[in-house]
Amino acid sequence: MTTGPGESGTSGTVWRPPSEPALRSPAAEPPPSPPPAPPAPQGDRRWRPALIVGIAGLVVGAITGGLAGGLIAARLDDDPVAGDVSRGEAGGSLDLDLTTAITAAARKASPAVVRVESATRRSLDVGSGVVVSAEGYIVTNAHVVMGTDQLKVVFADGSERPAVLIGHDYPFNDIAVLQVAPVGLSVIEVGDSAELEPGETVLAIGNPLGELYGSVTVGVVSGLNRSRVLDGMRHDDIIQTDAAINSGNSGGALVNLAGQLVGMPTTILRQSNGGQPVEGVAFAIPSRRVMEIANLIIAARGPIARPSLQLEHLDLNDEVAARLPALPTSTGAVVLAVAQGGAAAQAGVRAGDVIVRVGDTAVDAQTPLLNALAKHQPGETVKVVLNRNGRIIETEVRLARRS
């Protein structure tokens, strides 16, 4: 879906949110004397989120095959069901306070969330983005804007402006930065994702399905520092939430009750590895990493310098290895194709080789090839260890710069 990658940032600007006001706890009213007969209990409406979710499928046919994935979508049904326990005055007041806080957060953040239209000769893709500076910089997912011929941003008030892609960090991070004319912009306040807590209420704001502009869905922080492999890169700082995220929400805003950006919705789980349906599991890139990568892109006025072996690969695990023709090992990264005259080709790497080590880092299910590469710089010469039909080969590769 774009920091070293997967870690809290140390460069760029990090915003820290002001302390959030506590929700008002209503004072209990003294009972009248003598007390009247209690009224019959009333049915209670409770929210039951139902999330229809999706994950990219794996299609591996042969050693030259690859993975085929799909953009993941979700739907949240606010389904009120009757309850059999009445709610007292205090509970009703707390509900009112929470509703008021949600409304205020949505009102504050929504003007800074935009619709991003990425047009090619054959198609129009739609995602979301967030204005993060008065200079016109907008952050979004890289997969929303890559390979585009023309970019346009539609604001909450319906106005439109052309946008320029400043740079992206795909596949190391699914993060990109656009820029529009810096006139009359609503800028989101950026919060510190490190201050999130499990159970905290969050809102997802974006353009689901590319047509339901400015939609707001509500959930909680279900988990923090989740480990997920996204686009071949393992990240250990992912936010898990049950707020509804659909196709079109990618690149939008995950905000806290202060209306501050704390994450960027990017993907959602449809089913487990075993094919079992999964509900209420969506993922967002934390705002700390989003802003660290965005600031590096802005400073470079283009993509971040990343190393490349100039080859196509597939990271192995037990499931993937079982679907491929016989391999000498079930760990590492199998080389699918090598760019002619590229860095790997010059070092003698061939299609069918399995890369098991880059420098001092073993390539395995816990450390994909991109994570091992991310520790190095373009132009650096590193030792690469290959398994070629059971024979261990060491070679040195002068890393190219990612194009």
- pLDDT tens digits, one per residue of 88-113: 445 566 677 888 999 999 999 999 99
What's the whole-number mean pLDDT along residues 280-294?
96
pLDDT at 94: 66
Q: How far is CA 283 from CA 223, 224, 238, 246, in A?
A: 9, 10, 6, 11
> Of the residues 118, 128, 133, 250, which is catalytic?
250
Helix (H, G, I), strand (E, B) or coil at 366: coil
Residue ranges of the alpha helices (H) in 260-359?
287-300, 318-323, 343-346
pLDDT at 93: 66
What's the whole-number mean pLDDT along residues 171-196?
97
For the ranges 155-169, 271-285, 387-401, the lowest mean pLDDT is seen at 271-285
pLDDT at 214: 79
**Paired tokens of 377:** 């710089």
97 in active site: no
Bridging pattern class, strands 189-190 and 201-206 = unpaired
How confident is residue 15, by pLDDT bands cut at 50, 70 and 90? very low
> Of the residues 125, 169, 174, 353, which is catalytic?
174
Residue 224 has pLDDT above 50, yes or no: yes
Interval 370-393: pLDDT, tens: 999 999 999 999 999 999 999 999
* Chain CA centroid to CA 50, Å: 21
List where CATH 2.40.10.120 sits in the chain: 108-300
> Of the residues 143, 168, 235, 313, which is catalytic?
143
pLDDT at 79: 32
- Reference 310, options 360, 349, 363, 263; nearest CA is 349
* Domain spanning 306-402, CATH class: mainly beta
pLDDT at 350: 97
The Cα–Cα gap between 152 and 393 comes to: 49
pTM tops 0.85, yes or no: no
How confident is residue 321, by pLDDT bands cut at 50, 70 and 90? confident
How confident is residue 320, by pLDDT bands cut at 50, 70 and 90? confident
Residue 6 has pLDDT above 60, yes or no: no
List where CATH 2.30.42.10 sits in the chain: 306-402
For the ranges 74-83, 281-290, 306-315, 332-341, the lowest mean pLDDT is seen at 74-83
pLDDT at 73: 35
Residue 31 has pLDDT above 90, yes or no: no
Residue 64 has pLDDT above 70, yes or no: no
Q: What would the CATH number be for the domain defined by 108-300?
A: 2.40.10.120
What's the whole-number mean pLDDT along residues 114-140?
93
Q: H or E element: which one contains 101?
A: helix 89-109
pLDDT at 8: 36
Q: What is the mean pLDDT of the chain?
A: 81
Q: H or E element: which one contains 311?
A: strand 311-315
pLDDT at 341: 96
Residue 354 has pLDDT above 90, yes or no: yes
Question: Is residue 113 within 8 Å of 212, Cβ to Cβ?
Answer: no
Question: Is residue 221 within 8 Å of 199, Cβ to Cβ?
Answer: yes
- Reference 12, options 137, 111, 99; nearest CA is 137
For residues 385 and 69, which has the higher predicted lDDT (pLDDT)?
385
How confident is residue 274, by pLDDT bands cut at 50, 70 and 90? confident
Residue 55 has pLDDT above 60, yes or no: no
128 in active site: no
pLDDT at 210: 66
What's the whole-number mean pLDDT along residues 155-177?
96
235 in active site: no
The Cα–Cα gap between 235 and 373 comes to: 14
Helix (H, G, I), strand (E, B) or coil at 381: strand
pLDDT at 104: 96
